[in-house]
Amino acid sequence: MPFSFHIVPIYIPLYIVLLIASAALSIFSYRKLRGDISKTWLIVFIALRTLLFFFVFSALFSLIIESRFSRSEKPSVLVLLDSSGSMQIESDGTSRTSEAKRIITDRLLPFLNNQATTEVYPFSDKIYSPEDSTEINRGTTMLGNVLKQSLHLEEKQPSALFLISDGRNTGMEDPVETAEKLPFPVFCIKVGKKEEKNNITLSSVRVNPIVYKGDTVPITALVSNSGPERKNVTVQIRKKGQILDTKKIAVLGAGVDSPIQLSFVPQQRGLQNYEVRVQTFKDESNSEDNKQNITVKVLEKRKKVVLLTYHLNWDYRFLKDFLLSQNDIEAFCYARIGKNKYLIKHGNEYKGNLNHKVILDSDVLILINPEKIEQSLFANILTAVEKKGLGVLIIGNMLPDFSIFRTAYPFVASTPPLSGDFIPQLTQTGQNSPLFMIRGISPPPFPPHSNPLRIKMVKPATEVYLETETKSSYNGPLFGSFTYGKGKIAAFTAENIWHWKMLPLGTQQS
């Protein structure tokens, strides 16, 4: 980190005047001294006095003697590589993926590496980390959703973004509008040739991988049309040839992607296979992409849920009352009231110790402000998530500060939290997720949440369902989750979840 003095040229005449004035003042002060002094010491004395007065005058008049610290740091550049299924299409023996990778290795990286630090991420419905390439949903290309996620992908905001893709946007977010709101430029690189196809495709199917026997399970299917306009397009879900649900898309326009909701009720436990199928037309170029198979794990309806809070608040009371009102849930509620002392609600309410076995044997664990959680307990919880499929929901802005928690948290957060109330909004992922469908309909507007964490980065594997606009960034994640081994970890980054009690359907029994 070099250090230098800098004199603004316009002030040079003033410096000369000050230097002369300093010398005169030094000579005048010398004459006031008593006693003799040698010529050599006279010169040294006057020179030192001159410099002293010069610097004093410079400081008093705020003349520009600047100490400048310069730090050389390369800007950050993101490269997003489309990894959807259409990138496997070949032309002249070369796939679009191979073409895109050649562009990156032969043209982009040699040019950028000398000027910036470059990170390459695959994407389809969202941005994935390079290690998660086997988990990519290759049935869709949500460009707008991906561009929004890029804002929180890394701790430091990128200086520019290169987007390499072959296809149109299959999501509801307008990528052009999204790109205009980003604080950095977006450069698009097209690969592949335009193909004139007359085809209907079942682009993606979204369903919760773990469901419960007897529950109504919602499914979101995305149907894409690259041919002419179609009317009354039938979409079905089947099991062993039996039709479980049928919906129709009244008008499927040319070049349009249409989401549609179906549902089914699983009747048997264990892994169950289903088929989602969209109607095939005779003039289609490919009828094999009109169906997809899905597998869900069906559990017994009554599930064990543990609610554990380290700070008594309204969120705990709301969730406790809600869980205890559900006939299909066996709820264990723990509220910390002192060191190693908890108020426990399971049947009767009593005081006691935390039962680690109950926590680790549960189906779902809800942690509210787990700032004081023991590191050893959390390590065991992570093992249960990874090996047994335990689901964990973390609520609040008071979190522990040890590495295994930071590794397992869906976001990279910083302190202090933001202040005030924020209105949640569904992201496109949230709109397409069955998670927010209540009896087959979308929820009403959400009530405000308070004091969310400052999110520096959304981890690549995280799906964000709720967000809010903030003053400091384009969007602030409020609720998201990612898969951790066999289970899932989700996080609400804010307080006052109890406001959900205001929703008309929020506290009714399922």
Residue 253 sits in the same domain as residue 182: no
Q: How far apart are CA 495 and CA 499, in angstroms?
A: 9
**498 in any annotated domain:** yes
Residue 251 sits in the same domain as residue 319: no
Which residues constitute the domain of residue 167? 76-190
Cα three-residue angle 144-203-88, rounded to 5 degrees: 85
Q: Residue 182 sits in a domain of what CATH number?
A: 3.40.50.410
Distances (CA, A) of 499 to 186, 399, 445, 449, 509: 38, 21, 12, 7, 17
**510 in any annotated domain:** no
**222 in any annotated domain:** yes
| Residue 32, CB-side half-sphere exposure with 13 Å CA sphere | 6
Residue 307 sits in the same domain as residue 442: yes
Q: pTM of whole model > 0.85? A: no
Residue 345 sits in the same domain as residue 428: yes
DSSP for 191-239, written as a single string: -S-------EEEEEEE--SEEETTSPEEEEEEEEE-SS-EEEEEEEEEE
Cβ neighbors of 89 (< 8 A, separation 6 or more) are 95, 96, 166, 192, 195
Cα three-residue angle 273-279-285, rounded to 5 degrees: 110
Confidence at residue 468, expressed as pLDDT on a 0 to 100 scale: 85
**341 in any annotated domain:** yes
Which of 23, 48, 69 is the last residue before a domain boundary? 69
Residue 309 sits in the same domain as residue 446: yes
Q: How far apart are CA 62 and CA 75, in angstroms?
A: 34
**130 in any annotated domain:** yes
Residue 275 sits in the same domain as residue 179: no
Return contacts of 354-361, CB within 8 angstroms, 24+ apart: 354/308, 356/380, 358/304, 358/306, 358/332, 359/306, 359/308, 360/384, 360/390, 361/304
Four-CA torsion 263, 275, 237, 262, nearest 10 degrees: 40
Alpha helices of 339-427 — where are they, by DSSP H? 356-360, 375-388, 403-408
The encoded tokens of residue 501 equal 């009690």
Residue 64 sits in the same domain as residue 83: no
3-state secondary structure of 56: helix
Q: Residue 325 sits in a domain of what CATH number?
A: 3.40.50.880
Q: Considering only CA atoms, which of 433, 441, 450, 451 is closest in space to residue 504?
A: 441
DSSP for 437-449, written as a single string: -BTTB---PPPPE
Residue 33 sits in the same domain as residue 163: no
DSSP annotation of 282 = T
**141 in any annotated domain:** yes
| Total of domains in the chain | 4
The type of residue at 14 is: L
Distances (CA, A) of 174 to 46, 92, 145, 180, 447: 73, 32, 9, 10, 26
The type of residue at 184 is: F
**195 in any annotated domain:** no
Distances (CA, A) of 451 to 334, 335, 498: 24, 22, 14
Residue 13 sits in the same domain as residue 142: no
Q: Are 142 and 428 in contact (CB under 8 A)?
A: yes
Residue 326 sits in the same domain as residue 449: yes
Q: Are 215 and 265 in contact (CB under 8 A)?
A: yes
CB crowding 346-381: b at 16 or more within 10 Å, else e: beeeeeeebeeebbbebbbbbbbbbeebeeeebeeb
Q: How far apart are CA 406 and CA 409, in angstroms?
A: 5
Which run of H or E residues covers position 67? Answer: strand 65-69
**507 in any annotated domain:** no
Which of 299, 326, 345 is the last residue before a domain boundary? 299
Residue 463 sits in the same domain as residue 317: yes
Which of 171, 190, 209 is the last residue before a domain boundary? 190
What is the chain's pLDDT, residue by residue, as a tens digit (510 residues)? 334 444 444 455 666 666 676 666 666 666 655 456 667 766 766 776 667 666 666 655 544 444 444 445 678 899 999 887 778 777 777 888 899 999 999 988 888 878 888 889 998 878 888 776 666 666 567 788 888 888 777 777 888 999 999 876 666 677 888 888 888 999 999 988 765 567 888 877 888 888 888 888 999 888 888 778 888 999 999 998 899 999 999 888 877 778 889 999 998 888 899 999 999 888 887 777 888 888 888 887 678 999 999 988 899 999 999 899 887 788 999 999 888 889 999 888 899 999 999 999 999 999 999 999 999 999 999 999 999 889 999 999 999 999 999 999 999 988 788 888 888 888 888 877 777 765 555 566 788 888 899 888 888 888 899 988 655 544 688 999 998 888 999 999 998 888 877 665 444 443
Confidence at residue 7, expressed as pLDDT on a 0 to 100 scale: 44
Q: How far apart are CA 238 and CA 199, in angstroms?
A: 22
Q: Are 330 and 300 in contact (CB under 8 A)?
A: no
Confidence at residue 253, expressed as pLDDT on a 0 to 100 scale: 81
Q: Considering only CA atoms, which of 239, 263, 236 is closest in space to residue 248?
A: 236
Residue 486 sits in the same domain as residue 356: yes
Q: Residue 217 sits in a domain of what CATH number?
A: 2.60.40.10
Please name the residue that has the structure tokens 């109607």: 279
